[in-house]
Amino acid sequence: MADSFADKRILLLGLCGFVYKLGATFAVLLSFSSFLKTAGRAALPEYYIWLSLFSLIAGLAMVSSRRWQKTSLRASYIVAPIFALLISAAGSQYTILGKLELMAVYVAVSLYDVYFGIIFWNTANSLLTVREMRQWVGVIAGVMFSSGIVLGYLMPALFSLFSYAACHYACAAIFLLLPACVALLPRKDGDEPEKDEKNTVSWQKTLSLAAGHPLSLLIVGSMVVLAFSRYSSSYLFASALTQKFVDERDLASFSGAFESSLRLISLFSQSLLLPWLLKRFRPTVLLFLTPAILTVGAAGMLVFPGFEGLVAFQFMLLLSIRTFDQNLVNLFLNLYERALRNQFRFFSDGIVFASTVILAGLAEVWQRLQTEKPGIEARKMLFPACCRLGGIHEPDTVWARLTGSNPAEKDLALELLETARGTASLFKSLAAVQG
């Protein structure tokens, strides 16, 4: 009886994980393509900033609240219909939605993907014993992530058979399927969450104990490098995608195939390559692989600046992060005491990682504003210059000619402005814009 009960739990956990990850991956791909094609690469720093801020808020809530920590997959009874409605609305209105609306959808589904995964594993830990988790965690994780791999390769076929809006409705249906699967999960009699008061550590004590641990600085430094490298490469990669693909469906199809290939190879690299390397090198040595790939890849982009070179660089960088950095940090954290490990994991993965992304995003926004400043100043000077020409030339038309690619129209606009007095500062600003 006990064995059959365990088999049922494992089977249904695998089913729930498969459906959850299928819906989350589908939603992320759809929202990513819609947001990127509508808002453009200039809005990416804002997305990362808002995502990191809400991640901090959600993480703090989950750590500080015991109710959050005990939340099970039955939260899908409420969460899944909300996200089904959100995805359906985004699908029916995606052609008229603006940057802010699409960014909100993209941030929401990204947070769902991360934090509902935490809830999933919390539920698995409550339903399975420690021995069962050690035995079946790999199988459950494999079944769960296989959904994203299959979906990514099927995206081109889905878009060829159905409209972009219909794919949103299919994604919403997957969300609604999750509560039905969760309802099948059995309850174990007398199975109550363990009260682990002794394993609770205050933030002050956590930071005090971590400061004296020799691995703390290494873990924090790894998180900073990891966050910066992922942000920088993702920004460049997304920028290239907007230029390469005109249609949202083509962008989503490519992104799905890219992510599926990455996950598939990651499974082999984590299960075969990483154990082989750990037998021959110290874990601290392997942590330098990602910075090395980042450096070599950046240099390689100068030699091969095209789209294919950037795709190869992004693939190798993310493969290194998923194979080495994430697993090695977890390995280091296991050397901490349990109470310290749980708290410091959130500090490193949550606060340090998210804060680095926020700072990188703010720096990108500031740099963009500095780049656009000469153009803003030049446009301000155009109106009085056009007025001195007798008001026969619209400032927007003149600006389009000045900044356009047609040399003849540009020369014509310059000749017109030369007849106006006091345009020296305008020409100086234009030179800054164009060079």
* 341 within domain boundaries: no
Do 256 and 390 lie in one domain? The reply is no
Residue 71: which domain range?
A: 1-188
Residue type, 291: P
* 237: confidence class by pLDDT, cuts 50, 70, 90: confident
Q: Are 401 and 412 in contact (CB under 8 A)?
A: yes
Which among 334, 358, 391 is the end of a domain?
A: 334
CB within 8 A of 262, min separation 6: which ones?
A: 315, 318, 319, 322
Q: pLDDT band for position 41 (50/70/90)? A: confident
42 and 171 housed in the same domain: yes
In a domain, 56, yes or no: yes
Residue 207: inside a domain: no
Look at residues 242, 234, 236, 173 and name the one whose alpha carbon lies nearest to residue 34.
242
* The pLDDT of residue 405: 63
What number of other Cβ atoms are within 10 A of residue 194's Cβ? 7
User: Token pair of 408, please?
Assistant: 């003849």
pLDDT-based confidence at residue 190 (cuts at 50, 70, 90): very low
Residue 115 and residue 192 in contact, taking contact as beta carbons nearer than 8 Å: no
Pick from 155-169, 180-194, 389-403 the range whose average pLDDT is largest: 155-169
Residue 208, domain member (yes or no): no
Helices (H) and strands (E) in the chain, counts: 20, 0
Whether residue 21 is found in the same domain as residue 134 = yes
pLDDT of residue 413 exceeding 80, the answer is no
CA distance linking residue 112 with residue 106, whole number of Å: 10
- Residue 1 is predicted with a pLDDT of 39
Only one residue has tokens 């598939």, namely 264
pLDDT band at 142 (very low <50, low <70, confident <90, very high): confident
Residue 343 in any domain: the answer is no
**pLDDT score, position 269:** 85
pLDDT given at position 174: 95
Examine the domain organization and report whether 222 and 170 are in the same domain. no
How many degrees, rounded to 5, is the angle at CA 125 between CA 130 and CA 196?
A: 85
Q: How many domains does the chain have?
A: 3
Domain-ending residue, one of 170, 188, 206:
188
Residue-wise pLDDT tens digits, 202-223: 556 666 666 666 677 777 777 7
Structural contact between residues 9 and 128, judged by C-beta atoms closer than 8 angstroms: yes
Q: Which of 21-35, 61-75, 84-98, 320-334 has the highest mean pLDDT?
A: 21-35
Residue 5: the pLDDT is 46
Instruction: Kindly report the average pLDDT of the chain as a whole number.
Output: 77
pTM, to two decimals: 0.73
CATH of the domain at 116: 1.20.1250
What was the pLDDT predicted at 24?
93
pLDDT range class, residue 376, cuts 50, 70, 90: low
Residue 422 is predicted with a pLDDT of: 47
CB 59 within 8 A of CB 116: no
Q: Is the pLDDT of residue 377 over 60?
A: no
Q: Are 141 and 117 in contact (CB under 8 A)?
A: no
267 and 171 part of one domain: no
Q: Are residues 141 and 14 in the same domain?
A: yes
Same domain, 170 and 284: no
State the distance between the two ends of the chain, measured CA to CA, in whole angstroms. Answer: 76
Spell 34-57 as b/e; 16+ CB within 10 A means b.
bbbbbbebebbbbbbbbbbbbbbe
Q: Is residue 322 part of a domain?
A: yes
Flag whether 390 is in a domain. Answer: yes
Packed helices 2-39 and 248-268: angle between N→C axes, nearest 10 degrees: 140
Furthest CA-CA distance within the chain: 94
Instruction: Specify the pLDDT at position 197.
Output: 46
Q: Are residues 225 and 326 in the same domain?
A: yes
Q: Does 96 share its domain with 142? A: yes
